Each structure stands twice: as structure tokens, then as C-alpha cells.
Amino acid sequence: MKQRRSSESGFTLIELMIVLFILGLLTALVAPRLMGRVGKAKQKSAQTQIHMLGTALELFYLDSGRYPTEVEGLKALSQKPDNMSSWGGPYLDKEVPKDPWGNNYVYKIPGEKTPFDIICYGADKAPGGEGENQDIKK
């Protein structure tokens, strides 16, 4: 019989299976917690973008004396609407961003309690919801 040298030693199949089981267990415990943080980060990102769009709408109002119509929409912040001489934009550095879930923000004028509403419907893309599906609006 040959003896194993210390340089030839390795892991047995049982040891590898135990390590894989532990890694799988850690992944199952940690992944849901990280996924919850991703959802919260997307909600905070949507809040920040809505605030930025609201500021741009206020600048549009200061220049033109009115907010964009629903037909003009948020696009009026980056592209001059037809027949508008008092437009001082662009009010955004780039095109109007999509929400963190890849959808367009909803712009309503007049708003429920303010001159305008900017709404993100969340992950479910539908009004209402809780958690990551919760609506975010200004």
C-alpha cells in the first residue's frame, strides 16, 4: 500500500458536499435580506427622481407661467413644445428618466392636492400596493 503524501491530500466527497450545503444554507438566509434592500433602494431612487422632475417642472413654470399640459407631458422638460416662445429649457440634462422598474412616470395636471402629480406605480406597475409595489408620488 502506498501512503498519501501531505502534498497529495485533498478534500473528500463528503467534505465537499458539506461545504456546498453550508454555502447553500447561507445563500438561502442572506439572499432574501439583500433582495429587500434592493426594493427599498429602488423606492428611494424613484423618490429622488420624482423630486428632481418636480423641481424641473417648477423651473418650467417660472419661465412660461404654466406647467406642461398632460399632452406635452414630462417630455416638455427636455424638448421644446410646439408654439412656445417662453421655453427656457432644457430643464433636464438628459431625456426624462424611466422609473427604477423601467416604466414611464405618470404625469397628471391638475394633481389631487397640488398643481401636478408625478406618480411611480412601483414594481407591480398598477395603482396601490404595499412594499415594493407601493405607489410613490409627489
Model pLDDT for residues 59-84, shown as the tens digit of each residue: 999 999 999 999 999 999 999 988 88
Question: Is the Cβ–Cβ distance between 106 and 119 less than 8 Å?
Answer: yes
CA neighbours within 13 Å on the CB side: how many for 98? Answer: 7
Using alpha carbons, list the distances in angstroms from residue 48 to 27, 83, 134.
Answer: 31, 31, 15
pLDDT at residue 37, as a whole number: 62
What residues contact 85, with CB distance under 8 A and at least 6 apart?
none
Superfamily of the domain at 39-137: Glycoprotein, Type 4 Pilin (3.30.700.10)
Query: What is the rounded average pLDDT of the residues 16-43?
Result: 75
Q: What's the pLDDT tens digit per position in 32-55?
A: 666 656 667 888 889 999 999 999
What pLDDT was estimated at residue 53? 93
Enumerate the domain spans of the chain: 39-137
12 to 19, 26, 42: CA distances (angstroms): 11, 21, 44
Report the percent of the chain where pLDDT is more than 90.
39
